[in-house]
Amino acid sequence: MSTQEDRARQFLARHRSGDPLLLPNPWDVGSARLLAAAGFEALATTSGGHAATLGRLDGSVTRDEALAHAREIVQATDLPVSADLEHGFADEPEGVAETVRLAVGTGLAGCSVEDSTGRTDDPIFDAGLARERVAAAAEAAHQGPVPFVLTARAENHLHGRSDLADTIARLQAYQEAGADVLYAPGVYNADDIRTVVAAVDRPVNVLARPGCPPVSELAAIGVARISVGGAFAYAALGAVVEAARELREDGTYRFWDGAGVGVKAARAAFGALA
């Protein structure tokens, strides 16, 4: 088993502009082991996917639950794992810093912190406070022996604020505050992504979603990391819904085509760890 320090260093080193790290988001121990067996080099948790395993919507998981979940994913494989810690489960900088300190203690290689508030009436933190939150998180991430990788997220485009200039200004501020990786989910137009990459001096993560350029084009733009958020988890839920519909409405069993693939993958991934 590699050490947490080794995994954190490997994780940061694998962020290379033009050769993006493909970072899938497992939602439980089994999916983490399947994705590790598929050959990915690192993993990241998904807040939405984790919430779904509890029968809840995204944003409803507590800090203790998120950290316990992160620890489970860390222990599932020997790959570096970064945690989606939403808005740090706190408004004030010290609270975010405490969340990051606790995250380091789970064995993670890194985590992400958003500048969203979780409030529909005022969804994005003021730019000044948002920078202070990242600065506090970065100090907590970098003060120990583990080179913990902090990803700072600018959430404008997920909350109806399609102001690319403000998003870039925020990412630049988060870079100056000490973030290791920058991420603006919802920015998926090739020209906009190119503008973001050119405006900052840190690795940029892009959320893969419909309408987003393919991996090869993102690599050419200079993107360093590509993640999928809750997409894999929701794809799995979608397969269950379709299988249930087929059984109830059609009375047929074509869902076994996909199930057969899953059985083979599970036997290969889980058997190797037995």
pLDDT digits (tens, 9 = 90+) for 244-263: 999 999 999 999 999 999 99
Furthest CA-CA distance within the chain: 59
- Average pLDDT of span 175-191: 98
91 and 137 in contact (C-beta within 8 Å)? no
Q: Report the distance separating Cα 258 and Cα 129, nearest Å.
A: 47
Q: Report the distance separating Cα 205 and Cα 193, nearest Å.
A: 10
Question: How many residues can be counted in the chain?
Answer: 274
106-162 pLDDT per residue, tens? 999 999 999 999 999 999 999 999 999 999 999 999 999 999 999 999 999 999 999
Here the tokens at position 222 are 């200079």
Total Cβ atoms within 10 A of residue 42:
25
Q: Using the predicted structure, report yes or no on whether residue 272 has a pLDDT greater than 70.
A: no
- Give the pLDDT band of residue 89 (cuts 50, 70, 90): very high
Q: What is the pTM of this model?
A: 0.97
Phi, psi of 136, rounded to the nearest 5 degrees:
-65, -40
Q: What is the pLDDT of residue 2?
A: 85
CATH of region 4-230, choose from 1.10.1740.10, 3.20.20.60, 3.40.50.150, 3.20.20.70? 3.20.20.60
Q: What is the pLDDT of residue 197?
A: 98
Short-list 153, 151, 149, CA closest to 104: 149
40 and 22 in contact (C-beta within 8 Å)? yes
Distances (CA, A) of 91 to 10, 106, 142: 31, 22, 21
Short-list 84, 78, 109, CA closest to 27: 84
Total Cβ atoms within 10 A of residue 9:
17
The continuous run of DSSP H or E covering 270 comes out as helix 256-271
Q: Report the distance separating Cα 93 and Cα 177, nearest Å.
A: 12
The continuous run of DSSP H or E covering 22 comes out as strand 21-23
9-44 pLDDT per residue, tens? 999 999 999 999 999 999 999 999 999 999 999 999
Q: Report the distance separating Cα 268 and Cα 262, nearest Å.
A: 10
Q: Report the distance separating Cα 181 and Cα 190, nearest Å.
A: 19
Q: Report the distance separating Cα 101 and Cα 83, nearest Å.
A: 13
Q: Using the predicted structure, report yes or no on whether residue 168 has a pLDDT greater than 70.
A: yes
Short-list 178, 172, 170, 167, CA closest to 140: 178
Unique residue bearing structure tokens 């810093």: 97
By the 10 Å C-beta count (0-12 exposed, 13-18 middle, 19+ buried), 10 is classed as middle
